[in-house]
Structure 1
Amino acid sequence: MPKPFLSLDGGASLFRRTYQRIVPLVGRSRILVVTAASDVPWVRKQAPEIPSRQILAEEIGRDTATAVALAAHWLRSRYGDAIMVVLPADHSIRPAMVFRSALRFAIRAVRKTGGLVTIGVPPRAPETGLGYIRPSAREVISWRVPAAVLRRIPRAPIDRAVLERSREVLVIRAPFDWSDVGNWDALGGVLRRDARRNEAIGRMVALDASRCLGVNGGGLTVFIGLRDVVSVRSGDVVLVCHRTAVQRVREVVRRLRGSLSAYR
């Protein structure tokens, strides 16, 4: 199942919660979903109230710039020179009310300046998988959240061609908790923790263990005498690594691509 349509706690999926967060701000009729054609059935299953005319399906994915450009064309054809809020569908954000307040402030800023607005989250730890914002040499760096309020969409990747080069980008310090849930360590940051900061999806027993993450939807994960260990089971594959090494999963994927059968 694609990441946006997964549930982290047995409740609504990341996609469904993104939809529920924005409906009170703009209403159902002004929400547009841009997704891969193969994911349209998931959208219809998890948000059946969204009409087909508000779902744009990409036959071939070309990253976020193309998706945003498609959305901008749809928006302009119906609402003219309107303001567009671009939101990834697979992030964890809470509380929703505070998030909407931040968006209202961002929208007012766009109306006043006609420029670009992005929302920055103060970093909890260095994260090589994300970009960052440096508002000035005197201020603390905030790691960039790819949620932007945009008036115009250029024909180029937004991050590199506009946000990273423009000196007119306004930055709002995020007053809410945010995670892109981009790796297993980030996933642990949005789950409930026990007294020793162990987290799990599925059943877990932790004995003299701390800061461990277990993901096992069909069984029991047991940690004994360990610290900062991630254990994930998916089908017949088990991943075990240190929390500081979760970004290296990509290396394993590259190594196994096309030859996974040799390990079965």
Structure 2
Amino acid sequence: MSRRPSRSVRVVASALAAGSLLTTAACSDDGAGDGSRASDVSASPLARKQPSSSPSPALTEAGAQAALITEADIEDDWTQVKDTEAESWHDSLLIGTVDVSDFLTAKADAADCQRLLDSLFDDDLLGRPSGASALRGFEQGDSRLLYQVAAYDRTDPQDSLDWMATLPQKCDQFTATDNGEERTVQVIETSLPDVGDAREGLLVTVKGTADDAPATLTLEVAAVRVGADAITVTAGGLDGAEEDSVKEALKTGTQRLKDVQAGKTPAASPSEIE
């Protein structure tokens, strides 16, 4: 930890002490360390940017597919749909232009809120993958769950996670308009299981109309980084969010992705064993 500057007569001594500490730290890197230093690094803000382990081989298309969850991993009555159907899921309530007048003192925040709506509609919350990717969709009544695994080896998924973390404050409530129809959007932070190297969760509600009747779209949105790869889950619908299913998906899915990264075959789900 850094200390506040001492009196001017001690400036030179402080500088020499700092140089000595740097030399000691550089030397200690050659050794195994006692664990306390690693603890200090993980607690620093910069540590969130660093991989938790040595780089794993690049995720392949086959690996991304193997890392996807199944119906058994999220329990309840979810039914898997065809990949082509899941790829076409785009909820019209997410279409709209953010009203900049809602952001009188922070115009730039409006751009972040617009990015959120657009990325939820386009299913690219963390940006376009720079490597292999795969997705799988599930339905349960009027609710949907979209699960994606992707490689971001040439971009940094942590940047997008850091951006997500700012949204509950920047976009806590705003208005979006589409063809004269106003929609009220609210964004709050949610808690996620302690999985992966970093994670962020949001609950997004959009109040508008559907089929000429008042409607509220509720989405549980989550992203987990595992090295340079990431998992994103979006679940919910007009019947409400699907918090429990999202958490189950992340717990099982993160382990599946770790297995793939380690060159292992993910454990079979109960439905695959029967």
Q: TM-score, normalised by structure 1?
A: 0.25
Which is greater in Rg?
2
Q: TM-score, normalised by structure 2?
A: 0.24
Higher relative contact order (CA 8 A, sep 6+): 2
